[in-house]
Structure formats: C-alpha cells, structure tokens
Structure 1
Amino acid sequence: MSWLFWALQLLTCQIAFADLPVHCLHHEIIGSWKFVLGRPSGTRSSCGHLRPDSVDVQPGRDVLDAVDRELVVSLKDPNIAEAEAHPLGTWTMIYDEGFEVELGHLNFFAFSNFTFDVNEHGKHNISHCDQTMVGWYHNKDRTQFGCYYGTKIPTEEEMQLAVEMKSRHLCPSRKKPKTLLYQTKMSQRHQRKVIDKLAERIESESLGWKAKPMDKWNGLSMLQVNSYAGIKREKRTSEMLRQHGAALKTLEGRVKRRSFLRSSSVSQLGAALPEALDWTNVNGRSYVEEVMDQSECGSCYVASAMRMLTARHKIKQNDTSLSPWSISFPLQCSEYNQGCKGGYGILATKWSQEVGLLPAECMQYGSEGACQLECNLKELKGPRFRADNHRYVGSWYGEHGDKVEEIKAELYHNGPLILGLEPSEDFMWYSEGIYRSPGTSNLIHPTSGSEWERVDHAVLLVGYGEENGQKYWKLQNSWGEDWGEKGYFRIVMGENDSGIESIPEAADVVEDEQRGRQVNAFFQQQPKGQSMEAKELRIAEKIEKMLEGKLCHGSTASRRPFPGDSWDKLRHAASVVGHGAQAQIAPVAASQVARVLQKHGERHKRRRALNEEAKQIAMAVDMSIWALGMICEHQERNVGGDSTSAWKMWLSHMPPRCDREVGIKACSQLLQLVVKNHPVVTATEQLPRVLAILADSYKSRNSNSALDKDIAAAVAKAGAGTVKQLASSLPERQQKKLEQMLKDESRTDGNGMAPS
C-alpha cells in the first residue's frame, strides 16, 4: 500500500533547501563593525561548522578558544573597507547571506546571523543583519588562519529602527503552492499534456525554441525536479520582492546599491572580441568536460565552479587531456556550502583558493557521497594547484555597467565562467533553440542594478554566437546529455532573461606555492576508521550522558538538570549525530540513544502528568527519539545491520511528547520519509503505526496549525474507507481522532485535497 506516499507527495515539508535561511541587503551591512578575532593558527579549521555546513547545526561564539584582538572595520558604499592601521580595503555581499572583506593582507568571510522561531503558525527564520555567524579569516599567503565573529556598531538611526522592528520574519505563513503540477508525480501522459500547452504558448509568443518530455522527470514531482537546482525556489518570492522594493524606496538617493570584492582580471575590455566563440570547439578541440548528470543532488553550483576551473586550467596549460578537478571535494568537504542542499559557486572557488584542488580520481562524484579521500596524496605527481582571484565579473555585484561586454571579454580572455539563472518551470522541458522565458517571467529580474537578484540554478557559460539575427549565450547544464541540445542550451543575450546576466562569477587556477600542504592538513583533521579523533569520541561519549540527564546540577528544589542554554546544546547534539560529517560515530551514537529509549522510553509514554523531574527525563527521551531518527535517516548505511531494529525502535517511540520543537521536527521528518517512499514507513505492516503517530500528533501540543493541515490532508487523501480499514486495530481514541481529521478536512477547500 502506497496511498500515504502518494498523499504526502502533496505535502512535502516547507524546509529551506540549499541556501541559508537569512536575507540581508547591502544597505543593512554598510556601517561600522567590531570584529572579534580568535587566536590564529598555522592550520585552517572548520571554526565549528560541519563539513559540509548544515542549516540546523551552527556553532556558537564560544568556538573561539581565546580572543586574539578586536578590530573595528568601517564598510562603506559601494565597496570600501577601512580599519585603523590597515591599508584601504574592499568588501562584497555574498548574495544575501553573508559578506567578505579584504583589508591589506587579511581576508574575512562570515554568514549573517539567523535564528529560528516556532509558534502556532510554524517554523520561522529570523535574520539578524547586525551580527554574523562564526566566520573565518586568513592572511594572504595562507600561513595564518583563524575564526572570528562580527557585531555591527549601531547608529542612532539604526537604534531607532531596532525599537520599531527588532527582527525580520522571512516566512510569516505557510502557503501551499496552488498548482498540482508542482506537487504531484509526473507521468509521460502528464508531461505530454504540459508540452502541448507549452508548445502553443511558445508559438503564440514567437519565442523560437522547442520543448519535449523528459523520461527522467517521470515519477518525480516538480518539487523533486527542483532539487536539481542548487538553491530551491522559495514560495514567497512576492514577500521577498516587497521587502526589497521597500528597502530601495526608503534609501532612494542615498544608497548606490552595489558592491564588489575585486576587479575582474579582464584588462582588455576595450579590445575587439570575436563575433562568435565556443570553448567546446576550438579548431576541433574541446576544453570543456563532457556533460554530467548531477542527479537528485543540488550540486549545480559546485559542478559549474569545478568545470570552470578545469576548463581554465586546460586552456592555461594548452592541454585538453588534463584530468578534471574533483567536484566532490568541495561538495562534500567545504564548510562554506551545504553539500547536496545547495550553495554558491563563488564560495566553492573561495574554499578551493584557501584549501586547494584535487584531481577527480581522488574523490569521485556521487549524489550520496561523503568527505572521504580515494587516493594517496603522497603518490600525486607533478605540481599541485589551487583556485585564485575568486570574483564577480565586471567590477562589483549589482554594478550598472555593460554586463554583456564584460561577460564576453571574461569568457574570451580567461575561459568558461559561472552564470546563475532562475528560469520558469518550462525550462525543464527545453529541447532546442534559443530560450526565452514566456510571458512576464522577466519581471522579477530587472535589467537595472539591484542589491539582490534571486538566482537558483548555476550553469557553465562556454560560448556565444548569433542565429537568424538573434544573439545568444551557449551554456552547459548538469542534467545529462538527454536534456536540451545534448546537455547544452542557448539563451537570448542582452535581455537578462531569467537573470542570466545578473551575477557572473569567475576564478583562476594557479600553482599552489604550498604544494598541497593545506589539502594534506585538511585530511589529517578528518577522522579515519577506528582511529577517529579524541574530540569526536568525546562527542559520542557525552551524548548518552546528556540525554540521560547525568550532567544534572543544582539543588533538588530547583529540579533543573541543565544550566542556561543547555537544552539548545542538547538539540544541537541530537542534530549533529545524524549529519553526514559524523559518519564514524553514527553506530556508537545510535547504540547510546537506543539505550536511553530502552531505559526510559516506555515509562515515559505511559505517564500523563509529569512532575518537573520526570519532565526533564521526558525531554531527554524526546531528544533521543529525534537523534535516533536523524541517525537512521542520514547514517543508515553506516549503522549497518542494526538499522532495521533502530528504525523499528524509532517508530515504536514516536511521537515525542514533551519538547514541542523536537516534536514538530520529528513529525515533519516522518512526513518526509513517506514522501521518499522509505520502506520502513510505507511497508503494509507499518502503515497502521504511521497512522497512529499522525493521530497522536494531530492538534497536540507538539504540533502547529501548518503541520496539522498537512497531517489532515494526507489522511483525507487516502479516503475514509482506507483509513477505517487500516485503523481498525488502533485504540478507539486514535480512531476517533482520525475520523475528526476527515471531518475537518472535508469542511475546507483543501486545495482540492478533500477526501475521495
């Protein structure tokens, strides 16, 4: 029975995918900042971030072991950075998520701070644009590395604004997409209908390109197809644009809305350029790698970045036979991006500049990989290389210059580069011709400069040309050779269609003067088999103690087993153990949290009223449930033969009952697993248990209105008859709750999701 899987295709949890849940504009960063620098070291560290980074697991400022010094930095419009006793520097926004500063021989980068708030309407992310997360700094010759964080020194005007609006909620409500196409699984027949309508529109608007069904999209929803893009389409574009427009109106005449890190290396901008260019065919030679299929991994940003560096290396060395650079190295190992959940090409090249490059054979590409070396670094022959001069092409991000000529010059003089775009959904079915968005799709990508361009897919620009009087860009996609023009596509030039000319990015390749020392040091920090680092072992050992409440302190009267923010640290530990970076400790951690559940779980489920002491144990049990679910989902392979029993234990103790935030997360995880058609939750014998969990979660204190709607709609989609049959063995209380769900859902329009 797969009814629940099908129903939940309509209910994929609204979780931010790829980029970080933070939104800060250029004018909000301008001002004076206090940077607190930790003690530098000759070895680069993760500064407490996971590898790859995770939205849910961000380090606290106590990561800085010791403060080395404080530095007051003034960031001015459009790009000037000043600090006492330092040469004049520059700075840039990194999209809307962070900023990078160069001051003399020092480079700083950090993401802007964000937090989460959970209320009856769901989970909200809140941007704190006057603070940074823990970030990284290093000197120019890569011999000193450290961690830092920044706090903005407020002006009187900003202090007044802070009183009026302390923070900005990016997601004030959870509105489901209205189109079933975006939510339901596609078939060949379904695609054919879409293509027929699309063909009519292409012809009526004289767009000049063709579309075709794609076999690889069959069985996937548009939501799943969207995972092929590096930064997932947010469903609240109008809210983002409203904020952006309001900011521009408020600052009109005062803020130039542009920034840059450094100038492009294109010094011959005025030089004559050829009428056409194609790096895939230079006198019969191609400097570009074959088209790849990124699969269901949001890796387009790093695929385009590494393909760019590979092509530029081949061009510089005049050797098309050179091995490509590893895509998986920055994809699975970089703290600057979120792995298969997305990131930015400019940060992939920045990381490759600081750490270095590896040939592809040292870490082969895979959508379910890990940061694990597959070659012997000592056996690598010849010089080692790294990226250099990562930059936005032109002069600065959001610059008003002639982007077309700047992009063409960069492409001609230095080789392929990264372009970002946000195409409309019809782009998924492109097959040939010069692409142009239908209708008014371009309205969200104004040709004039702006602080923030919403771009969600990265591609590799390899050439340009003209056909029947229409100039175009030629780009390599990463969706396989069966898409588009054998994996490539052409798009109209000079119109900034789909934002294609908004944020061009580039970097160069140079010989590593340290001969790979930073790469070697990086892997020496990684745990290896049974000889993992003592730090990782300490994490594993502490999990059980924390979850069992063995770190209790204080008087009996206070009944507070954890001081201050320790519950937040406990949630942090529960998140960490399931992350891919913790593969080596997964079996140990699973065993430890399982023991907690065996010892306390059943007693916890039977209790109704909890005194304060029992409540603390109950919260520890909730953390154990969440941690075990995270490990089972993300580390199933590493847990090995014990995974089946671990899954069953997780289901038997679901849902969490005491910690509201954990309860919402765990139930959302269950919905996600059903969407993925995981056998442990969609097996016939498990469906009654899944229904029971949903019944217990519905309109409980550990749910919210948005989650309740998802649960009710899923149950209603199955139909009253199916639900009654599956629930026949459940307690009367749960059966009545399921009946109530059906009634509640039938009284709403349910976006067409009322029970059949």
Structure 2
Amino acid sequence: MFLLIILNLFAFSFADTPVDCNTKDIIGQWKLEIENISDDPLVNCQAKSELSILDTKIINLEQPNIITNLKKQQIGTWTMIHNEGIDLFFDGKRYFTLFNYTVDEEGIVTSHCESMRPGWSRNNIIHPTNFSCFNGSKVNSKLQPVEPITRIIKPKIQLNEESEDDIEYSLNMKSKWIKRPFQSFNATFIHSHNKLITKKKDKQFPSHLDWSNHNLTNYIPSINFVDPVYNQGKCGSCYAFGALSMIESRILIASNYTIDVQLSQQEIVSCSPYTQGCNGGYGTTVNEWIIDHGISIRKCFPYRLKNQSEEQCSSKNCGDGNRIQKQANTDSIDQDDTKPQNTYFIDSYGYVGGYYGACTQEAMIVELQNGPIIVSIFASLDSFKTYHGWKQSKKYFSGDNNQENGIYRPLPDEYEQIKDANHIVLLVGYGTDGDDSEQLNRRNDEPEKYWIIQNSWGRSWGQDGQARILRGNNTILIEQEAEYANPYNVRIIDKRGSLWNKSANRGSVSYAIIQSPQFFALIGLSFIALILLIIAVIIGLFRRSIVHNEYTELVGIRISSGDINSGQEDEVSGDSSAQFVGSIGSG
C-alpha cells in the first residue's frame, strides 16, 4: 500500500506551453514586427491580441546558432528554449518569445512553428527599461508567409501533489543553518553565455565534485554550498525551485560563503509572464525575468503553492528596502549600501554548451566547476519515483536489479517509456562508484560514473532528497539540457561587516594573497610565536622577581653578620666592613 501511495504521489509539470517545435522548423528567414517602447516595464506582451507596428526587421536563423542579415553577415546568435520558444540576441537587444499553438475542444494541441506569439524586446543589459512587444513569422525569399508548420500533440501538463506541511518544513529548514565565511576559498567563474565551449576531457578536472559536501582544501572540513531540500508541493514550480536554488548557491560561492540568501519562488510563479505559474516553465524563462526585473528575497513574497490567479503579484511586499534601484534615464544600477538588499540580479545565463541542443557531459563538468547547474530530466518512471538513495539501495534491491549500488538507471522495460523531459532538478556534482566511504559495493568490476542531483520533492525522496544518476549515457535525458546563471555584482562581507565589490577586488594581488592558505598559515604561526613570546616575557619577569628577592635576603644576612663581627673583633675596622657591604649591594 505504501508503495502505491508513493507511486501516485509524484506527477510533474515542466511544460511552459504545450508546443512541440524543432530546430529544422525554425531554420530559415523570419520577419520581426516591433512596437514602440512601452511606458510599462512590466508590460505583458503575450496578453496582447494586436500590435501597433513601428519597425520591421528581416533576419536569417542559421545552424547552429547564428543570426545573419540579408547580406549574410553575422549580426548575432539565437537559441531554442526547449521545443517551445526562442531567444534572439542581435543589434544590442534581446528578443524572447514562444511559438504559437491552438487547442481544440478535446484538448488536442496543434503547434504552429512558423509563427511566434507576441514577445518582449529590450536592450541586452541588466535591468533594462525600454521594453517593446514584437511578433514574428517565417517568410520565404519573397518575404511572403511560408506554409503552416504544424504538429499535433496531446497536452502534457500535470501537477505534483504534496502537503503544505511538508513544504513549510522544507522551506523553514534553511533558517536553521549558520553560514560562516571561508577565507581560503576563491571561486573562479567561467562565463560562456552564447559561446561554444571547447570540449575538455574529464581528467582535466577533479574526478569528484559535490557542492553539497565540498572539500575546499586539505585544511578545511567539507562544507555545504547548496540549499536544503525544498518541496514544491502541488504546484508545478520545479523550474522556479531549481533555477533559484542554483542562483542562491552561486551567490554563496561568489560571496565567499558570506551571503546566504533565500529567493522567492512565489514571485516567479505569480509575477512573471515569461512562465505559466504552476503549469510550468524553464530555467531560461526564470533567468530572463531575473536579469530583466530582479528577484526578491523569500520573506518579501513567501511560497504559497498558489497560481497567478490565486496569489497576485501585488502580494509582493519589499517596499523601499531594495538596495539595487534603476537610475532614471540611464542604463546603470544604483546600489545603496545603507539599505538591506532585497532584490538580486544575474548578469549572464544560458544553456550549457552555448545553445539548446549543444549540451555534452564534458560541457556540464566544465560549468559545474563554477557552481551547481540545473538539468531537465524525464521523471515519470516508477523506478525513479521510488528511488531510495545510495545508502539504502542494498536493503531494497539485490542481485541484478538496477539500483544495488545506489546509482540510478531505469529498469530494462522502462526505457521505451522515456519521452520528453518533464522535470527540472539541481545538479550539484558528479563522482565515480566507490570514490567515497558511503558507496556500497559495486555491481561490476568497472567503476560507474554518476551525477549527483537534488530534487524538489522533499527529504523523504531518495537519499535525503538527493540521487545519484548514471553518468555518460544520457540516463533519463539528464545530459540533454542543462542551464546556468551567474549572479550580478556579488559583494563579499569581511569579518568587520564591511562590503567590497567582487569584480574590483577578487582579481587583485592583495586579495589573492589574503585568500591563500599560506597566508593564513603564516598568520597562525605568527600568532603562536607572539603567544610564546608573551609567555617567555612573563616567565622572565617572574624569575627576575625571585632572584631579586633572594639577593635582598642575602644582603640582609651579610649586613647582620658584619655588625656582629665588628663588635667581637677589634682588628676589623668599620671602613673595611662598610666597603664589604657596599660591594655586595652593588651586585
């Protein structure tokens, strides 16, 4: 009975919109029609039925991710957003939208991959204000609309069922953690936004990496840079939990373990028109919102398991506490250090590998050196729902079963069930079977490689909410679609509580010296030497006091002896006695 309850417990919501377009559908010439700049930076372009066209642009989308003009000159880059939308980067602007679709009375969806829904155009900067709406249509060489490119699919939106008590417990776990700075850690970020990553072999990087149990140096115990396990509940918000957990971890890494922030999943669900709330979204659409508008901390807008229609964005309450504010008529951001920071931004984001479809195991390992990333997986298999973790696997599985060593792989008869990815999780690291003391005996003589994921289904799933997934063969599509984001202008808090800018100081020679383990070893040795010196001085003063007392006592004895002798022996003169006493006293 318990197993049946578990099997029915998890359903998934990953689809932003029920659209199914592929790269072949998109390659070709497109006409973009753009409105004038809106007065409202929060304009919901997809709610518009008609646009007042001000400008038209003709572009060519070419393989693998190149945008060219009519003269075949490269002017930018592009990427699919899964199979539902597109990001365009050219002429100093960013364009984001989803493809069109229709739904009939029976719920059957028809994708229209030759046309775009109204989307957003803005300057390719952090926190832009010049938002315009646009739409797009695929055209032929004569700039005429092409034949409809349609694909019929069934709806793929389902919801995850969990209790509110479980979610409140998992969200409150983080408030019990205490973070302290680790001065010897120096994070190095590899920015690869819309650039192809050169493939590197695993051996060029550590064979084991786990940001939830990370060993910085041989002198410091392993520490956890990852959030506690959350529970998304009955709202299909895995995309928000995954993306924000990634950003929270990377803020903690970039701030040298001094800024522990909890970001608002409910803001993404309730406020962002780039996603469909509890009906799903993608990491990229979360990152689009954060680079455009920022993300508030969770206490400004706590998680309520409610959709946009149930929990309006007006519930967000940060007041004037935002430390990062947009300066009027400029593209810069003003930072007031006298106010608490309630809003955070990112400065870059993208698909691992450079664009959707370019993800590889090697590229994932490269990006993981900078911090956790998010991955899309197919999570509907019964064996995945009932995964027990690597410590308990031997108890539940034996023989030729797929999970005896705790590394998850589907059962043989489940592979044909794997379809499109439908769930987003946090990828916190990787390793090899037998590379730690917790690992059970291997099933095979050849060590197996694995990924370490952290789910948003609460701590009761897997190994306290985590799982090890077989690495190297795209198990449950885990190596097909990975995403990253880098936090904007993270500031480091030193022991005195002052703030200093990472970009201005982290690369300096003095900062590198201060952050080195040798520096702290030298400081430690100097401190020990100082203590020993103080002890030596105290002992010296104490011994001198003892010697002085002994001398004083000896002088007193000599004086008394001299007086007695002078009275008994007439041959000894007073002058001689005085000289003798004087010689003792001067010593």
Report the TM-score when normalising by structure 1: 0.48
- What is the match of residue 390 of structure 1? 349
The answer to whether the Cα contact below 8 Å between 1:301 and 1:458 also exists between their aligned partners in 2 is yes
Compared CA separation, residues 298 and 227, structure 1 to 2 (3 A) = farther
The answer to whether the Cα contact below 8 Å between 1:357 and 1:387 also exists between their aligned partners in 2 is no
- What is the match of residue 362 of structure 2? 405
- The AA in structure 2 aligned to 1:396 is Y
- The AA in structure 1 aligned to 2:53 is V
- What is the match of residue 420 of structure 1? 376
Deviation of 1:499 (Å): 0.3
| Counterpart mapping for 1:709-748 below 5 A | none
Matched, 1:454 2:427: no
**1:271-314: per-residue Cα shift (whole Å, max 9, x none)?**
82111111112233211111111111111111000000000011
Deviation of 1:25 (Å): 1.2
- The AA in structure 2 aligned to 1:274 is P
- What is the match of residue 59 of structure 1? 48
The answer to whether the Cα contact below 8 Å between 2:95 and 2:119 also exists between their aligned partners in 1 is yes
2:476 to 488, 498, 504: 498
Compared CA separation, residues 270 and 311, structure 1 to 2 (3 A) = same
- What is the match of residue 409 of structure 2? 436
The answer to whether the Cα contact below 8 Å between 2:349 and 2:485 also exists between their aligned partners in 1 is yes
Distance in 2 (alpha carbons) for counterparts of 1:17 and 1:479 = 14
- What is the match of residue 376 of structure 1? 319
- What is the match of residue 36 of structure 1? 33
The answer to whether the Cα contact below 8 Å between 2:160 and 2:233 also exists between their aligned partners in 1 is no
Deviation of 1:512 (Å): 9.2
| Counterpart mapping for 1:224-623 below 5 A | 225=160, 262-263=194-195, 272-282=204-214, 283-368=221-306, 369-371=311-313, 372-378=315-321, 380=323, 381-382=339-340, 385-399=344-358, 403-412=360-369, 414-423=370-379, 424-432=381-389, 433-443=406-416, 454-468=420-434, 469-511=447-489
Query: Secondary structure, in 3 states, of the residue corresponding to 1:361?
Result: helix
Please give the root-mean-square deviation of Cα atoms over the aligned residues, in Å. Answer: 3.3
The answer to whether the Cα contact below 8 Å between 1:262 and 1:395 also exists between their aligned partners in 2 is yes
Compared CA separation, residues 227 and 88, structure 1 to 2 (3 A) = farther
The answer to whether the Cα contact below 8 Å between 1:287 and 1:320 also exists between their aligned partners in 2 is no
The answer to whether the Cα contact below 8 Å between 1:227 and 1:298 also exists between their aligned partners in 2 is no
Query: Secondary structure, in 3 states, of the residue corresponding to 1:35?
Result: strand
Query: Secondary structure, in 3 states, of the residue corresponding to 2:136?
Result: strand
The answer to whether the Cα contact below 8 Å between 2:76 and 2:90 also exists between their aligned partners in 1 is yes
Compared CA separation, residues 379 and 503, structure 1 to 2 (3 A) = closer
Q: Between Structure 1 and Structure 2, whose CA radius of gyration is higher? A: 2
Percent of paired sites with the same residue: 31
Matched, 1:129 2:113: yes
**1:170-197: per-residue Cα shift (whole Å, max 9, x none)?**
24xx9xx9xxxxxxxxxxxxxxxxxxxx
The answer to whether the Cα contact below 8 Å between 2:14 and 2:238 also exists between their aligned partners in 1 is no
Deviation of 1:375 (Å): 2.9
The 10-residue stretch of structure 1 (477-486 or 265-274) with the greater mean CA deviation from structure 2: 265-274
Distance in 1 (alpha carbons) for counterparts of 2:196 and 2:488 = 16
Deviation of 1:104 (Å): 2.8
The answer to whether the Cα contact below 8 Å between 2:350 and 2:484 also exists between their aligned partners in 1 is yes
- What is the match of residue 333 of structure 2? none
Query: Secondary structure, in 3 states, of the residue corresponding to 1:310?
Result: helix
The answer to whether the Cα contact below 8 Å between 2:65 and 2:79 also exists between their aligned partners in 1 is yes
- What is the match of residue 138 of structure 1? 122
- The AA in structure 1 aligned to 2:206 is P
Distance in 1 (alpha carbons) for counterparts of 2:490 and 2:39 = 16
Distance in 2 (alpha carbons) for counterparts of 1:512 and 1:321 = 9
- What is the match of residue 152 of structure 2? 169
Distance in 1 (alpha carbons) for counterparts of 2:454 and 2:53 = 46
Greater helix percent: which structure?
1
Deviation of 1:321 (Å): 4.9
Distance in 2 (alpha carbons) for counterparts of 1:269 and 1:132 = 39
**1:635-680: per-residue Cα shift (whole Å, max 9, x none)?**
xxxxxxxxxxxxxxxxxxxxxxxxxxxxxxxxxxxxxxxxxxxxxx
- The AA in structure 1 aligned to 2:133 is C
Query: Secondary structure, in 3 states, of the residue corresponding to 1:130?
Result: strand
Distance in 2 (alpha carbons) for counterparts of 1:343 and 1:42 = 27
| Counterpart mapping for 1:2-151 below 5 A | 18-41=15-38, 43-49=40-46, 58-60=47-49, 62=50, 64=51, 66-83=52-69, 88-118=75-105, 122-141=106-125, 142-151=128-137
Greater strand percent: which structure?
2
The answer to whether the Cα contact below 8 Å between 2:193 and 2:348 also exists between their aligned partners in 1 is no
Deviation of 1:34 (Å): 0.9
The answer to whether the Cα contact below 8 Å between 2:103 and 2:110 also exists between their aligned partners in 1 is yes
Deviation of 1:143 (Å): 3.8
Compared CA separation, residues 224 and 505, structure 1 to 2 (3 A) = closer
- What is the match of residue 622 of structure 1? none
Query: Secondary structure, in 3 states, of the residue corresponding to 1:377?
Result: coil
Deviation of 1:362 (Å): 1.3
Distance in 2 (alpha carbons) for counterparts of 1:289 and 1:82 = 42
Query: Secondary structure, in 3 states, of the residue corresponding to 2:120?
Result: strand
Structure 2 gap segments, 5+ residues each? 1-7, 164-191, 215-220, 324-338, 390-405, 435-446, 492-587
Distance in 1 (alpha carbons) for counterparts of 2:299 and 2:224 = 21
Compared CA separation, residues 264 and 299, structure 1 to 2 (3 A) = farther
Query: Secondary structure, in 3 states, of the residue corresponding to 1:69?
Result: strand
Query: Secondary structure, in 3 states, of the residue corresponding to 2:111?
Result: strand
- The AA in structure 1 aligned to 2:80 is M
Distance in 1 (alpha carbons) for counterparts of 2:481 and 2:426 = 12
- The AA in structure 1 aligned to 2:356 is Y
Deviation of 1:166 (Å): 6.8
Structure 1 gap segments, 5+ residues each? 1-9, 50-57, 178-221, 229-259, 446-452, 514-756
The answer to whether the Cα contact below 8 Å between 1:110 and 1:135 also exists between their aligned partners in 2 is yes
Compared CA separation, residues 295 and 100, structure 1 to 2 (3 A) = same
The answer to whether the Cα contact below 8 Å between 1:90 and 1:261 also exists between their aligned partners in 2 is no
Compared CA separation, residues 83 and 508, structure 1 to 2 (3 A) = same
Distance in 2 (alpha carbons) for counterparts of 1:89 and 1:460 = 30
The answer to whether the Cα contact below 8 Å between 1:91 and 1:261 also exists between their aligned partners in 2 is no
The answer to whether the Cα contact below 8 Å between 1:34 and 1:153 also exists between their aligned partners in 2 is yes
The answer to whether the Cα contact below 8 Å between 1:18 and 1:298 also exists between their aligned partners in 2 is no
- The AA in structure 2 aligned to 1:23 is D
Distance in 1 (alpha carbons) for counterparts of 2:362 and 2:199 = 12
- The AA in structure 1 aligned to 2:275 is N
Deviation of 1:434 (Å): 1.2
Distance in 2 (alpha carbons) for counterparts of 1:492 and 1:407 = 14
Query: Secondary structure, in 3 states, of the residue corresponding to 1:389?
Result: strand
Distance in 2 (alpha carbons) for counterparts of 1:330 and 1:463 = 26
The answer to whether the Cα contact below 8 Å between 2:85 and 2:98 also exists between their aligned partners in 1 is yes
The 10-residue stretch of structure 1 (318-327 or 145-154) with the greater mean CA deviation from structure 2: 318-327
The answer to whether the Cα contact below 8 Å between 2:197 and 2:354 also exists between their aligned partners in 1 is no
Query: Secondary structure, in 3 states, of the residue corresponding to 2:108?
Result: strand
The answer to whether the Cα contact below 8 Å between 1:441 and 1:498 also exists between their aligned partners in 2 is no
Distance in 1 (alpha carbons) for counterparts of 2:293 and 2:193 = 19
